[in-house]
Chain A
Amino acid sequence: MRGGLKRLRESTPWLKFKKQKIGMISLVILLVMYLSILFEGFLAPYNANTKFKTKSYHPPHRIHLFHGNKFLGPFVYEYEMVNPYFKTYKVNRNKIHRIRMFVKGDDHKIMFLIPSKIHLFGTSDGGPYFPLGTDRLGRDIFSRIIFGGKISLTIGFVSIFMALFGGIVIGGLSGYIGGITDWFVMRSCEVIILLPTFYFFLFLRSILPSDITPARKFFYITLILAIPGWAGSARGIRNWVLSLKHADYVTSARIAGVSPFRIIIRHIIPQIRNILILSITLSIPGVILGEAGLSFLNLGITEPSVSWGMLMSSAMDINILLQYPWIIYPAFIIIMTVFFFFSLGYSLKDAFDPKSGV
């Protein structure tokens, strides 16, 4: 890979991409989001399942700087529950918790390896601080959003790669072999594409047993989400294989005795690399939304795992939502992620398009 990075930096698509501000910002933000998965325990003030029994539906804390006229730096007042039935709170102006960087708190592992107690921020005396409030069981929503990113963000990638792998193998060989095989494979792909995606998810999910371990559940859900994507990418890749199959250099490779699978991997896929990158970028939001939808209906990721869709499922009841509006915050992060993926995708599309402005 010598000089690979240099070649990328000098390549025309990259030069064009650099000029697209929104795309560049999206790329940076998405990279930060994915990186933060590694430091989830450090970035979140609490662990995902740390419960504060007396702090059910706690509203988001307001950050203050002045106590009366005295400057204290950032701090919060403690909220005390006044009505345990309706979960209403009032501010106790006498109890102050200062917010500090790098405080000790729950145990976690940095990059899933190094045990640590240090958190990026928290209160200096261990008192509660909920930037975005808590849910019914008194768990910090901000921390749960950060922990939820692990599943929600990776499920997009993993299932798109599963879909792509299936697509390359099935679409590639189908196009390469051609004839009746190709006809049948393509018709079945079309049937899968025609099915309404979300109901198809629901159907597949309903076949699964409900008493399985969280890890297996994650795997199955990923697989379910990959299936429609598989059919779509198989069709796309097959079309490319068809158009490149008769390219002289492919014929030349056949004469040289290169095997069909290797021809697809070495001679055809590299030509469509840009298109693959683009289709991955534009497909991930769909999968993220799919997972969110399933989990929202309690059919996807379930407790004790955390995902963004699952976090939103607590907002399903309109009465609860009206009373405790902060439980909708996880929806914003989903919308933002989807938005950034799309704007990254469209910037890439412009950058890869040889006809777009120079």
Chain B
Amino acid sequence: MEEKILEVKNLTTTFQLIKNRITAVENLSFHLERNEILAVVGESGSGKSVTNYSIMNLIEPPGKISEDSQVLFNGKNILEMDEKETSSIRGNRISMIFQEPSASFNQLFRIGSQIGESLRIHNKADKKNALAEAEKLLKDVHITNASDRVMDYPFQMSGGMLQRAMIAQALACSPDILLADEPTTALDVTTQAQILSLIYEKKEETGMSVIFVTHDLALVEHFADRIIILYNGRIMESGRTEDIFRAPSHPYTKDLLKAVPVPGIFKDSEKLFTIKGKVPSSDEKIPGCRYSPRCSSCFERCLTEEPELIEKENKQVRCHLAE
């Protein structure tokens, strides 16, 4: 029996703006097991980043997490903890890496001291030990000349290197969960492969769990253990990676798999498969199934009645056709 390290129940996060109210994610329930990689796949406005921030209880007004939402970390609800308790978890037991590494480092302090900072806060390490530890962490994420790089300022590093440094910072307190919010989107394909390898390697080494948020389904094919597919704030399909790639059940998943061009097709022989319509913004209210305006197998019922998330062949699917 696998152990659930994190369990999200009925997560609903809304944003109250002047003119309207946006429901970024609605009734989201999922769990994360120990030492697994869970990929959250979605396009812009699907609510994937909001999910991450909600898990960390980092939603700030005008955003609001609804009262009945629960984020259980080792059985304790993070959303009900006081500021002191959450900050002992944030950056310590659960850490986060972002798309823009330059945004998460202060440009005015040296990389080493910034990585060492969380050690000094959470592990009460002294300055000297923290710096030595930072150097070791940088070495662990395969930064060459770690002893020199510790004294670098963020602007002296390339994008890929900063991304590694950010991972080093996130791993400083050997967290139980790593939340990765599109960590490779701003990177080159080569660097992307390096960062993925690094995350995978660290997961194997430390036994942590990873929630990997991305818009690129192809990226997580072998990388993730399980996948959640989000669309317009809803889970459309979720299940083990092999099951989803072998036999996708939701039309959206099927379309996504077909829409990505693979090498070896050329414009003179084939036309690319397209999904019609546009990605709905998070403030759009779509009656019935959220994907119905773009779905090629949409029928009457889809336009009026939103399907429930049902269990089917080891997967969860939200589609009337699957019932």
Contacts and interface: CB of A to CB of B under 8 A. Distances in A.
A and B assemble together = yes
Contacts of B62: 358
A16 B62 CA distance: 14
A12 interface: yes
B16 interface: yes
Q: Which 7 A-B pairs have the closest CB atoms?
A: A358-B62, A15-B18, A358-B18, A358-B17, A12-B18, A16-B18, A358-B16
A358 B19 CA distance: 10
Interface of B: 16-19, 62
9 contacts: A12-B18, A12-B19, A15-B18, A15-B19, A16-B18, A358-B16, A358-B17, A358-B18, A358-B62
Nearest to B16: A358
Interface string A12-52: 10011000000000000000000000000000000000000
A12 B17 CA distance: 10
A61 to B, nearest CB: 50
Contacts, number: 9
Contacts of A16: 18
B199 to A, nearest CB: 32
A10 to B, nearest CB: 8
A358 B16 CA distance: 8
A268 B8 CA distance: 46
Contacts of A12: 18-19
A15 B19 CA distance: 9
Contacts of B19: 12, 15
B51 to A, nearest CB: 22
Contacts of B18: 12, 15-16, 358
Given A12-B18, A12-B19, A16-B18, 6 more contacts: A15-B18, A15-B19, A358-B16, A358-B17, A358-B18, A358-B62
Nearest to A12: B18
Nearest to B17: A358
Interface in A336-358: 358
A204 to B, nearest CB: 42
Contacts of A15: 18-19
A346 to B, nearest CB: 20
B59 to A, nearest CB: 14
